[in-house]
Structure 1
Amino acid sequence: MPRQRTGDTRARIQQVALELFTEQGLQQTSLRDIADRLGVTKPALYYHFASREDLLNSLVQPMIEDFEAYAAEQQEAAPVETRELLGSYFDLAYKHRILIQLAIRDLSVLQELKLAIRFIEWRQQLTELLIGTSPSLSDQVRAMVAIGGLSDCAVMIDHVPVTELRTAAVDAAYDSLGRS
């Protein structure tokens, strides 16, 4: 039987860890739990990840990089058509929905990785692109409802096809901005 490549093993560890973090919560999942589910020893995990925190960071870092790159790209491309901006934001949130769900369900993830601060910053950048730098209170509220509702739909609704969900969520977000 061919020996597994290190990258494959690392990816399997990440997949099982994400499953267990989602099922049990971050604080309730130990490296022993992950090793047991994989059928390997705990030292075998340490070969790939120095700690549970290192493993969690490896899961979340690609999402952080994607959101950072997205925010920078949108600012550089400004002005961006509103529906296009809302649609691309939906796509990004949907892509990382499992990790975002984990962070929402287990607030320790938000705190441990300082994700709450990052999400607030990303949303503020998008809000500014949607409504400018000196919006009225009404526009601020509409933009918050649009972005927050859009991402909540992308992350929390999973019983409809993604294309149908995307259309409904982008339409609702656009409508909430009060644009004609």
Structure 2
Amino acid sequence: MTRRRSDTRERIRQTALELFLERGYDQTSLREIAERLGVTKAALYYHFKTKEELVASLGEDVDRNLAELVGWGRSQPSTPEVRRELLRRLSVIVSEFAPVARFFQENQAALRTVRGEQRNREHMIALTELITAPDPSTEDRIRAVSALFSVFFGPFALEHLEGDPEANRATLLKVAAEILRLPDPE
């Protein structure tokens, strides 16, 4: 029974995300989500009482993955190889959650109260510290922030770039590593 409930919950989340991306957060109602799913509003309310609760659940997956990445990074020595691997793993998370990231990016004003802004800020601070070499200068810290922004927001800029998306993502990672002045892997 739990599996079925979680499958339904995931279908609701995916359908809501599709509608939010198509129409925008403010222009999408729970009724419309229920209609697209072919369920009653009562069935939808069983899983999510409000649209805000539904949106918060979308952010939970990203938050959990970022928290796991930060935890992994903190358990590793601060080496160029680990910093490069942190960027790579972050790129995978960004790629995996691209639709959710796009939704949050396109609906920032409407979602300020829904989204876990403090958690996101904490993850960014932690990741910045983790990809910065020990005893960093101000320039090193700025390079770390620039590299993270490249990995986080670069995929949006690359969407319309010709070529293989994976090759473009690899190039983006290479540039982020160059921003950090990480040596090329052997």
- Name the TM-score class by shorter chain: 0.7 to 0.9
- Per-residue displacement from partner, 1:135-156 (whole Å, max 9, x unpaired)? 2221122111111011112355
- Per-residue displacement from partner, 1:88-135 (whole Å, max 9, x unpaired)? 111111111111111111014651234333222212212212224642
Q: Is the 8 A contact 2:146 2:179 kept in 1?
A: yes
Q: Is the 8 A contact 1:87 1:166 kept in 2?
A: no
Q: Is the 8 A contact 2:78 2:133 kept in 1?
A: no
Question: 1:149 is paired with a residue of what secondary structure?
Answer: helix
Matched, 1:163 2:166: yes
Matched, 1:148 2:149: yes
| Distance in 2, Cα, partners of 1:28 & 1:13 | 17
Question: 1:79 is paired with a residue of what secondary structure?
Answer: coil
Q: Tell me which amino acid in the other structure corresponds to 2:173.
A: V
User: Displacement, 1:22?
Assistant: 1.3
Structure 1, 115-124 or 68-77: larger mean CA deviation: 115-124
User: Aligned-residue CA RMSD in angstroms?
Assistant: 2.3
Specify the alignment match of 1:29 in structure 2.
28
| Distance in 1, Cα, partners of 2:164 & 2:111 | 28
Q: What does 1:60-79 correspond to in 2, within 5 Å?
A: 60-79=59-78
- Per-residue displacement from partner, 1:19-66 (whole Å, max 9, x unpaired)? 111122222211111112222221121122222122222222121111
Q: Is the 8 A contact 2:155 2:169 kept in 1?
A: yes
Q: Which runs of 4+ in 1 moved over 6 A?
A: none
Q: TM-score of the superposition, structure 1-length normalised?
A: 0.85
The answer for unaligned runs of 5 or more in structure 1 is none
Instruction: Flag the 1:119–1:165 CA change in 2: closer, same or farther, 3 A.
Output: farther
User: Displacement, 1:175?
Assistant: 1.0
Specify the alignment match of 1:102 in structure 2.
103
Q: TM-score of the superposition, structure 2-length normalised?
A: 0.83
Instruction: Flag the 1:155–1:97 CA change in 2: closer, same or farther, 3 A.
Output: farther
Specify the alignment match of 1:12 in structure 2.
11
Specify the alignment match of 2:48 in structure 1.
49
Q: What percentage of aligned pairs have identical amino acids?
A: 34
Structure 1, 102-111 or 165-174: larger mean CA deviation: 102-111
Question: 1:164 is paired with a residue of what secondary structure?
Answer: helix
Q: Tell me which amino acid in the other structure corresponds to 2:145.
A: M
